Amino acid sequence: MKDTLRPGIVYEHAYHVPDSKTVPSLYPDAPEFQEMPEVFATGFMVGFLEWACIKAIEPHLDWPREMTVGTHVDVSHEAATPPGLTVTATVKLIEVDGKRLVFEVEAHDDVDTISRGRHERFVIDRDAFTARVHRKRDTA
């Protein structure tokens, strides 16, 4: 981690919601999901918020050796967003506790605030993390 990784980093990230990021696309093999409305899926929205946090801090890490993984998500999903609209996330790094990072996150579409909350990430060494995952897979 670089010494520039400090609370106060703010980043804004915009994304045009395609048809492929709606609820039916989240689990195509789940018949229940196929009956749901075609709106930006909560699962994809959470991934979008994570993406914004990653982009916010990437210049402050020894990328790609150092990366972050999500460890906690506490966000609302307050309004539906149909495909075709643009969602914009604003994320702010509010705490750095060793390798633990805490963000305030908020997202809006062209009309409404769609999400707000907090997200935690943890800085990892990519090679060491991957090795642990492979050991876990091999023992399962």
Active site residues: 42, 50, 77
Task: For 6-38, give one letter per residue: b (16+ CB within 10 A) or e.
Answer: eeebebebebebeeebbbbbeeeeeeeeeeeee
Half-sphere exposure of 101 (CA within 13 A, CB side): 28
Which uninterrupted H or E stretch holds 92? Answer: strand 86-97
